[in-house]
Amino acid sequence: MANKQEQQQLNEIQKKNLEAAMRLAQLSIENSQRIMELQVGTAKSLFEEGVANAKALSTVKDPAEAMNLRTSYAQSTTEKMLSCAREIAEITAKTQAEVGKMVSEQLTGGGADMFESIQKMFKGMPIGDNNALGTIQGAMDTARAAYEQMTKASAEAFQAFTKMGAKK
């Protein structure tokens, strides 16, 4: 009886892990699609603006006016490219936060489920070593803390990178 119950618990944990993996894959696909659409839209806009600029330059007789058109075009191109880069950085930051939240939930919820299953397994054994349970819980807590520290450091590094990019 206990074996069947343990198997059901493991199946439930696997189901939760599969659902989390599917959510992660869906999030990745959606954000990749947003970034591609943004890049295509920016490229199309830059192309159209380049064609319009070339037409305008072909009719200009005054060198000063031609220089003003080139400067204006270069400035507009730079602004559009920086705007695109900022939007991609925002999408990436949001994605990173969502993935971090999902992984944290998985570590917390999945770790608790796994610990509960291990506890039940130990209770069914004749030895029932509480030190072993404490060691397992300690290892899970250490892994969770390490992940949270890594996520925090990654987020700080990403923020520093995007601030440096915004200054340029």
The tens digit of pLDDT for each residue in 15-45 reads 877 887 788 888 888 888 998 999 999 999 9
Q: Provide CB contacts within 8 A for 131, sequence distance 6+.
A: none
The label of the residue with tokens 């209770």 reads 123
Q: Looking at the predicted structure, is the pLDDT value of residue 74 above 50?
A: yes
| Residue 127 pLDDT | 47
| Residue 118 pLDDT | 57
Alpha carbon distance 6, 3 (integer Å): 5
Contact present, 89 and 129 (Cβ < 8 Å):
no
Tokens of 85: 């880069």
The alpha carbons of the chain give a radius of gyration, in whole angstroms, of: 27
pTM recorded for the entire structure:
0.58
| Residue 22 pLDDT | 84
Tokens of 95: 């994605």
More confident residue, 9 or 73: 73
Alpha carbon distance 45, 67 (integer Å): 21
Q: Provide CB contacts within 8 A for 137, sequence distance 6+.
A: 115
pLDDT of 75-130, one tens digit each?
999 999 999 988 988 888 888 888 777 777 766 665 556 556 655 555 555 544 55
Least confident span in 102-106, 131-135, 164-168:
164-168
Helices 63-105 & 130-167, crossing angle to 10 degrees?
Answer: 170
Alpha carbon distance 130, 10 (integer Å): 22
More confident residue, 129 or 47: 47
Average pLDDT over residues 128-135: 58
The label of the residue with tokens 């489920």 reads 113
Q: Provide CB contacts within 8 A for 72, sequence distance 6+.
A: none
Alpha carbon distance 134, 61 (integer Å): 83
Alpha carbon distance 18, 9 (integer Å): 14
